[in-house]
């Protein structure tokens, strides 16, 4: 049988494994298996490609060894709370790989057809944007650079001019690639600058959308790189990643009732509300003992996690408290807002790491339909995603954003360090509700105190 036919047959199998694996990622119960199936597909594609390449394997083996060592170290040492930063880094590495591949191919073969020159430009430019943009996102998430939106006068105009310059340079390069090496280097430089300038105006709480979009960019860059080196499986894999990233980005934007342009260009969250602005009223603070009595009497409890849960690394003690509540006869649920946290599925990842049962994770629409019957909603580090202003204040910047309607529960317990505003820069009317009790302090320490109350009562 023809060797090219065997290679393409293996690629078809790999593509099928990618698709099945991607489908399984849609459910927490099957996500781990789906990840392994997709990884098996990629392993098959890589092995077949290498066997058919005739390359010197010693350098490839060295690269595999170094990459595997870095990957294993990261997997074992990176805390689950730092997963958003790690995902941003991995997106960036995918982008720089596409850029370097296109660069190496062009360096080796200068006289390209117009089409191959164009996809070389796309692979280099999108790969460069993905890399530098992901590094900027990593810096925000790791608090190396300010997590808030960084804006300046004329920022949109500057970004528009940078993009227009890149497009013009790409057209010039596509017309005459043989003598276009300086233009190619200019394109790489512009891409790296544009990645940074397009991410810094985006606040930290919009990172789920940004990471999803950068993931899509990395897929598109890989797809373009596949055309550059005439590799079918790169084209298919890149198209799958690019399309799924765009779909997820759209879902994230819809979950905030905002357009992608608004997320990317509005500088949302750049202004922080001053103390005394926004809703006012009587705050009803509660002690650990007060909260214990409320939860001890509750027949149903819904935890509403947010970014504060990740910051406090409180997922394990939340699970422990949930187990104690179940032992006390309460029905326990975890209400998941699609954009809570700093990456897509951030809360799902944290709770899965604490071995919270998948069937207790309830999506926003499903929990809202039950909220009136829930005895206690425990909001842990969430702010804007539970703010009633999204429903009843047309003048609010988050008006129209779907939220978890925790305010409808019989009692709301909010775990928060202070009365500071959320990412949107507005005060949360939920804090002043008649049925709300504010339980101030570090989330992990506060929940540990509740666990101690339950255990003391049982002893």
Of the three residues 77, 103, 132, the one that is the final residue of a domain is 77
Position 275 scores a pLDDT of 43
Is the predicted pLDDT of residue 278 greater than 60, yes or no?
no
Q: Are residues 399 and 302 in the same domain?
A: yes
Q: Are residues 186 and 317 in the same domain?
A: no
Higher pLDDT, 204 or 443: 443
Range of the domain at 15: 1-77
- Inside any domain, residue 277: no
Mean of pLDDT over the chain: 88
- Inside any domain, residue 275: no
Q: Are residues 306 and 184 in the same domain?
A: no
Would you mind telling me the total number of residues written for the chain in this entry? Answer: 459
- Inside any domain, residue 163: yes
Cα-based distances in Å from 243 to 123, 155, 240, 300, 434: 16, 28, 5, 40, 46
- Inside any domain, residue 452: yes
Q: Are residues 349 and 296 in the same domain?
A: yes
- Inside any domain, residue 99: yes
Q: Are residues 91 and 154 in the same domain?
A: yes
Q: Are residues 73 and 87 in the same domain?
A: no
Is the predicted pLDDT of residue 452 greater than 80, yes or no?
yes
- Inside any domain, residue 299: yes
Give 303-340 pLDDT, tens digit per residue.
999 988 988 889 999 999 999 999 999 999 999 998 88
Q: Are residues 54 and 120 in the same domain?
A: no
Cα-based distances in Å from 175 to 42, 187, 382: 35, 14, 52
- Kindly state the average pLDDT of the residues 222-240: 93
Of the three residues 77, 102, 124, the one that is the final residue of a domain is 77
Q: Are residues 230 and 349 in the same domain?
A: no
Helix axes 346-353, 315-327, angle to 10 degrees: 70
Of the three residues 265, 299, 315, the one that is the final residue of a domain is 265
- Inside any domain, residue 279: no
Give 374-405 pLDDT, tens digit per residue.
999 999 988 889 999 888 888 887 888 889 99
Q: Are residues 127 and 253 in the same domain?
A: yes
Max alpha carbon distance in the chain (Å)? 81
Q: What is the DSSP letter of 285?
A: B
Give 255-273 pLDDT, tens digit per residue.
777 777 777 766 555 554 5
Cross-strand bridge partners of residue 380: 305, 415
Higher pLDDT, 52 or 125: 125
Q: Are residues 223 and 250 in the same domain?
A: yes
Indicate which CATH number applies to the domain containing 366: 3.40.50.1220
Which are the catalytic amino acids?
Answer: 384
Q: How far apart are CA 170 and CA 121, in angstroms?
A: 6
Number of structural domains (the chain) is 3
Give 347-362 pLDDT, tens digit per residue.
988 898 899 998 899 9
- Inside any domain, residue 379: yes
| Residue 343 phi, psi dihedral angles, 5° rounding | -155, 160
Higher pLDDT, 439 or 426: 439
């Amino acid at each position: 049988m023809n060797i090219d036919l065997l290679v393409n047959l293996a690629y078809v199998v790999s593509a099928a494994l990618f698709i099945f694996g991607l489908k399984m990622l849609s459910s927490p119960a099957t996500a781990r298996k789906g990840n392994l199936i997709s990884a098996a597909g990629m392993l098959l594609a890589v092995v077949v490609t290498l066997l058919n390449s005739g390359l010197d394997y010693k350098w490839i083996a060295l690269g595999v060894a170094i990459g595997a060592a870095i990957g294993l170290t990261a997997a074992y040492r990176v805390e689950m709370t730092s997963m958003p930063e790690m995902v941003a880094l991995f997106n960036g590495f995918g982008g720089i790989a596409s850029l370097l591949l296109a660069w190496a191919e062009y360096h080796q073969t200068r006289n390209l057809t117009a089409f191959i020159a164009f996809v070389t430009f796309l692979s280099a430019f999108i790969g460069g944007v993905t890399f530098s943009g992901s590094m900027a996102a990593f810096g925000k998430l790791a608090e190396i650079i300010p997590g808030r939106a960084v804006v300046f006068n004329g920022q949109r105009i500057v970004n528009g001019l940078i993009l227009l310059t890149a497009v013009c340079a790409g057209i010039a390069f596509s017309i005459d690639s043989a003598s276009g090496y300086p233009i190619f280097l200019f394109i790489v430089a512009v891409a790296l600058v544009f990645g940074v300038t397009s991410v810094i105006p985006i606040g930290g709480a919009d990172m789920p959308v940004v990471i999803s979009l950068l993931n899509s960019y990395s897929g598109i860059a890989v797809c373009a790189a596949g055309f550059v080196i005439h590799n079918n499986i790169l084209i298919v894999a890149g198209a799958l990643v690019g399309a799924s990233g765009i779909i997820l980005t759209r879902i994230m934007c819809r979950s905030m009732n905002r357009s992608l342009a608004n997320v990317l260009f509005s500088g949302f969250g750049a202004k922080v509300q001053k103390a005394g602005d926004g809703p006012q009223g009587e705050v009803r603070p509660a002690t650990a003992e007060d909260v214990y009595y409320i939860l001890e009497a509750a027949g149903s409890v819904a935890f509403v996690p947010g970014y504060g849960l990740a910051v406090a690394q409180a997922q394990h003690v939340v699970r422990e408290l949930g187990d104690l509540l179940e032992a006390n006869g309460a029905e326990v649920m975890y209400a998941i807002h699609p954009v809570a946290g700093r990456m897509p599925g951030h809360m799902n990842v944290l709770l899965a790491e604490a071995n919270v049962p998948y069937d207790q994770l309830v999506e926003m629409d499903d929990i809202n339909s039950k909220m009136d019957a829930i005895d206690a909603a425990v909001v842990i580090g969430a702010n804007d995603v539970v703010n009633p202003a999204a429903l009843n204040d047309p003048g609010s910047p988050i008006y129209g954003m779907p939220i978890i309607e925790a305010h409808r529960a019989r009692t709301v317990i909010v775990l928060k360090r202070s009365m500071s505003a959320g990412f949107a820069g507005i005060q949360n009317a939920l804090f002043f509700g008649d049925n709300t009790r504010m339980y101030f302090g570090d989330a992990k320490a506060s929940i540990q105190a509740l666990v101690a109350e339950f255990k003391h009562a049982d002893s």
